[in-house]
Amino acid sequence: MPDINPTTLRFEDFALDPARCSLQRGDREIRLRPKAFDVLRYLAENPGRLVSKDELMKTVWAGVVVTDDSLVQCVKDIRDALNDSEQRIIKTVPRRGYLFAAEVSSGVMPGEHAKPTADERRSPWRRKKLWLASTLALIALTLLIGPQLIDDSTAPGSTDADRNSANGRFQTAVQRQSIAVLPLVSLSDAPEDYFADGLTEDIISALGRFPDISVRSRSAVLPYKDQAPRPDEVGRDLDVRYVLEGSVRRSAERIRVSVRLIDASRGAVLWSQQYDTEPRDVFAVQDDITRRIAGTLAVRLSDVELAKAAAKPPGSLEAYDLVLRGRDLLSRATRMSNSQARSMFERASALDPNYVPAIVGLGLVDLNAVRFGWTADPLEALQRAERLGHKAIAIDEYSPGAHALLGRVYIRRGDLDRALDEMKRSLELNPSDPDVHAGLGNVLLLLGDVGAAIKAIETAVQLHPGISPTDYFRLGMAYMLAGRNTDAIRALERALVRDESNVFINALLAGAYAETERQEDAARQAGRVRQLSPIFAAAEIGTLFRNPSHREKILTAMQKAGL
């Protein structure tokens, strides 16, 4: 067989040499048209990543206008050459693009690791030793690369997001590595998006346990689902340095997870891995992904943090599957989906009574029922949610979700001091949850600590700019109390874009306009309030403030606007 260049990409029994534009299978050279070869090369250089048709056409036919037919023909030629009619190597994702599903090895692929042997898969101790060796190597490589991996926001090619962070625009995460975990693409034959989404959420939650890593929330990355974004675009949009992307293929006997960690500012693949495992080992896969990312980012890892971040398998794999289904239903926030989510969590709890995610899920179902008026007895629902929160913490005191659940229950009951304690504890365990930061900001605002409230909600905005209109409303109120009325207007206008019929947002914005002497805007906004609610009374706002002067300040502003 002819010598193979060190940069050769190998998959199955094929060898693709980009430098010589050759594709070989054993001793036989396979001929492809130049454009078909370029398509194959680009896909093989991006294994496990969904590549959109638009990206392929812009890359392969740069500056030339062609139709989809040209790309489709190239893919057909490639599949014929690879005997890939069953799409085991190149998978078509309808209306989205193509994904190179085969495992690729390369002499220049950073972080590439050999696939574990059967003995290694069976031995937890050998898996641990393998992980320790590879993680130490990754950390050593990171340290050798030097400080530019920690902060090269001023280097050529850095993104606006890097520079904004370096300049202190978002003070809360300047010293923390930032990452977005994009929704894993489901390649399963059956529609099982809930499983890929659940695995994504678990990786996000595990990474969020490390205080030196700032992780964008599931809701922040959700808009990228069913898309094929470029990592640099994600980096700019979400103000992150690193992006994790990948895919999941699940069958009754096996689970294959492919992931790549990318430096969004440079487009460099820092680490990639493909896991082919039995379903019961999916939790070990989660742990390995989490730890390898942490090692590659060279964050400081303690044994306690590693223990907290480790996945805690349920007694039944079916319980895990039911919890993932329940989470998916819970996120839809309808009365019917909430009821269906309850059924999923109850079934999971029946299979494993000590499975904390199922217990917390049931508490969130009750909390949703109170929040949206889906229960005839809200007091009983809150009491049940509180009991579930305490039960979850008794089983796992390190569960951030359990502490956040209790914090939200106490907010609903007006027990602000206990809510404050639980929200703070939740953030100690997972500093990257924007919803909990926003919840903490709400509690601090009501307690009268305006500066701390602003900091908490601004942190939530950084982690997820798409936080709820209610949270932007609270941020606007906090700015007004701090005398930052221009900032208040920006926050309230942002809230109004997403909830234009909310009478309270409209009323507070009218007050903010009045405070900045924008009388015409204030009058127009006040008119909108009266249109939405002819019986609106300004006194309805701020009734829970501990500090009476804060409520008086808000009411005075709205009175200036004529409300």
Distance CA 64, CA 377 (A): 65
Whether 69 has a pLDDT exceeding 70, the answer reads yes
Q: Are 43 and 100 in contact (CB under 8 A)?
A: yes
Q: What mean pLDDT do residues 362-384 have?
A: 93
Distance CA 429, CA 426 (A): 5
Q: What mean pLDDT do residues 10-22 have?
A: 83
HEC string of 168-188? CCCHHHCCCEEEEECCCEECC
> Nearest-CA neighbor of 514 among 492, 544, 545, 546?
492
Q: What mean pLDDT do residues 5-30 have?
A: 80
Whether 392 has a pLDDT exceeding 50, the answer reads yes
Residue type, 453: A
pLDDT of residue 168: 36
pLDDT of residue 131: 40
Helices (H) and strands (E) in the chain, counts: 24, 14
Q: Are 501 and 255 in contact (CB under 8 A)?
A: no
Nearest-10 crossing angle of helices 335-351, 356-371: 160
pLDDT of residue 354: 92
DSSP 149: G
> Nearest-CA neighbor of 232 among 159, 293, 176?
159
Report the largest interatomic distance among the alpha carbons of the chain, rounded to a whole angstrom. Answer: 86
pLDDT of residue 298: 54
pLDDT of residue 133: 41
pLDDT of residue 478: 96
Q: What mean pLDDT do residues 134-160 have?
A: 34
User: What are the CA-CA distances from residue 337 to residues 25, 332, 341 (Å)?
Assistant: 51, 6, 6
Whether 299 has a pLDDT exceeding 60, the answer reads no
Listing DSSP states for 41-64 in one string gives HHHHTSTTSEEEHHHHHHHHTTT-
Band of pLDDT at residue 516, cut at 50, 70 and 90: very high
Whether 3 has a pLDDT exceeding 50, the answer reads no
Q: Are 386 and 341 in contact (CB under 8 A)?
A: no
Distance CA 250, CA 510 (A): 53
Whether 111 has a pLDDT exceeding 60, the answer reads no
Distance CA 276, CA 330 (A): 30
Distance CA 398, CA 342 (A): 24
CATH for 118-309 (3.20.20.70, 2.60.40.10, 3.40.50.10070, 3.40.50.720): 3.40.50.10070
pLDDT of residue 174: 35
Distance CA 544, CA 414 (A): 8
Residue 259's φ and ψ, nearest 5 degrees, are: -135, 155
The larger pLDDT score, comparing residue 135 to residue 340, is at: 340
pLDDT of residue 411: 92
First to last CA, the chain: 85
Distance CA 509, CA 493 (A): 7
Block residue for tokens 């000590």: 354
Range of weakest confidence among 146-160, 188-202, 229-243, 330-344: 146-160
Q: Are 173 and 165 in contact (CB under 8 A)?
A: yes
Question: For the structural domain made of 9-105, what CATH number should be given?
Answer: 1.10.10.10
Structure tokens at 449: 């600590």
pLDDT of residue 2: 38
Distance CA 216, CA 232 (A): 15
pLDDT of residue 348: 92
Q: Are 138 and 299 in contact (CB under 8 A)?
A: no
Whether 204 has a pLDDT exceeding 90, the answer reads no
Whether 248 has a pLDDT exceeding 60, the answer reads yes
pLDDT of residue 170: 32
What are residue 97's DSSP bridge partners? 52, 93
Q: Tell me the percentage of the chain whose pLDDT exceeds 90.
A: 34
Helix (H, G, I), strand (E, B) or coil at 276: strand
Domain ranges (residues) in the chain: 9-105, 118-309, 468-563
Whether 173 has a pLDDT exceeding 90, the answer reads no
CB atoms within 10 A of CB 84: 17
Whether 162 has a pLDDT exceeding 90, the answer reads no
H/E segment holding residue 194: helix 193-208
Residue 26's φ and ψ, nearest 5 degrees, are: 65, -130
Distance CA 115, CA 40 (A): 23
Whether 118 has a pLDDT exceeding 60, the answer reads no
Residue type, 76: K
Q: Which of 62-76, 201-215, 427-441 has the highest mean pLDDT?
A: 427-441
Residue type, 329: L
Distance CA 423, CA 445 (A): 14
Band of pLDDT at residue 466, cut at 50, 70 and 90: confident
Whether 1 has a pLDDT exceeding 50, the answer reads no
The larger pLDDT score, comparing residue 254 to residue 326, is at: 326
Distance CA 253, CA 233 (A): 36
Q: What mean pLDDT do residues 18-25 have?
A: 81
CB atoms within 10 A of CB 487: 18
Q: What mean pLDDT do residues 82-111 have?
A: 75
In sequence order, which residues have a C-beta less than 8 Å from that of residue 414 and are 6 or more positions away? Answer: 544
How far, in whole angstroms, is CA 352 from its chain's centroid? 27
Q: Which of 155-169, 349-363, 459-473 has the highest mean pLDDT?
A: 349-363
Distance CA 22, CA 15 (A): 8
Whether 227 has a pLDDT exceeding 50, the answer reads yes
- Mean pLDDT (the chain) is 80
Per-residue pLDDT tens over the stretch 311-342: 566 777 788 889 888 988 988 889 999 999 99
HEC string of 344-410? HHHHHHHHCCCCHHHHHHHHHHHHHHHHCCCCCCHHHHHHHHHHHHHHHHHHCCCCHHHHHHHHHHH
Helix (H, G, I), strand (E, B) or coil at 261: strand
Q: Are 247 and 98 in contact (CB under 8 A)?
A: no
Within 253-324, strands assigned E span 255-263, 268-277
The CATH T-level fold of domain 468-563 is: 1.25.40
Q: Which of 153-167, 448-462, 539-553 has the highest mean pLDDT?
A: 448-462
Residue 440's φ and ψ, nearest 5 degrees, are: -60, -40
Q: Are 232 and 267 in contact (CB under 8 A)?
A: yes
Q: What mean pLDDT do residues 264-273 have?
A: 80
DSSP 252: S
CB atoms within 10 A of CB 166: 14
Band of pLDDT at residue 163, cut at 50, 70 and 90: very low
Range of weakest confidence among 142-151, 245-254, 322-331: 142-151
Range of weakest confidence among 137-141, 224-228, 461-465, 512-516: 137-141
pLDDT of residue 109: 35
Would you call 368 exposed, middle or buried from its count of C-beta atoms within 10 A (0-12, 13-18, 19+)?
Answer: buried
Listing DSSP states for 87-115 in one string gives -SSEEEETTTEEEE-S--EETT-TT--PP
The larger pLDDT score, comparing residue 376 to residue 152, is at: 376
